[in-house]
Amino acid sequence: MFYNRADELDALRAEHDRDQFVGATFEDVCREALWKLTTTDRLHGSYGAVGRWWYGEQEIDLVALDDRAPSVLFGECEWTTSPIGTGLVEQLQEKATEVRWKTEAREEEFALFSKAGFEDGVTEQIDDRWHLFDLQSLASVFESGDGNE
C-alpha cells in the first residue's frame, strides 16, 4: 500500500523556505542595528564599513571595520529555536583569527544576535568586548537607539 505524503512534504519545504527567508531578513535587521549602535557609545569602535566575510567554508555574518582605531567587530545572527551557547562564542573567536585585516594592531569586539536568547553561563564566559542581543534588546536598539533599557 502506498501513501501520498506530498502535502506533508510541501508543508515541510514551505517551512524550510520561510525559515531561510526570515533568517536572511534577521541578518539585515542585525546589520541595521549595528549601524544604529555605531552612532552611540555602546560599541568600542566607530565603524564606517559593515558587511559579511567569507573565506572558503568559513563565514561571518557581520564584520564592521574602523580604519582609524583600527578596530573590528565580528558578529553572528542566529535565527534558531535554540539559545546560543559558549560553542558559538568559541567558533566566532576562532573564525575571527582568519580575517586578515590589520591583525597586528587591531582591537576586536564581538556581537551575537539571537532569536532564542542565550544559554545560562554564556555571560560568565565573555568579557566587555562582547555584546549580546536577544529579540528584546535588539528591538530596544531601534526604540532608544542604543539597546540599553
CA 117 to chain CA centroid, Å, is: 12
Q: Which three-class secondary structure state does DSSP give residue 85?
A: coil
Q: How many Cα atoms within 13 Å fall on the side-chain side of residue 140?
A: 12
Four-way CATH pick for 6-144: 3.30.200.20, 3.40.50.300, 3.40.50.720, 3.40.1350.10: 3.40.1350.10
Answer yes or no: pTM beyond 0.85. no
Which three cell numbers mark 129?
568586548
Cα pseudo-dihedral 64, 67, 72, 75, rounded to 10: 0
| 113-124 residue pLDDT tens | 999 999 999 999
| 58-114 residue pLDDT tens | 999 999 999 989 999 999 999 998 999 999 999 999 999 999 999 989 999 999 999
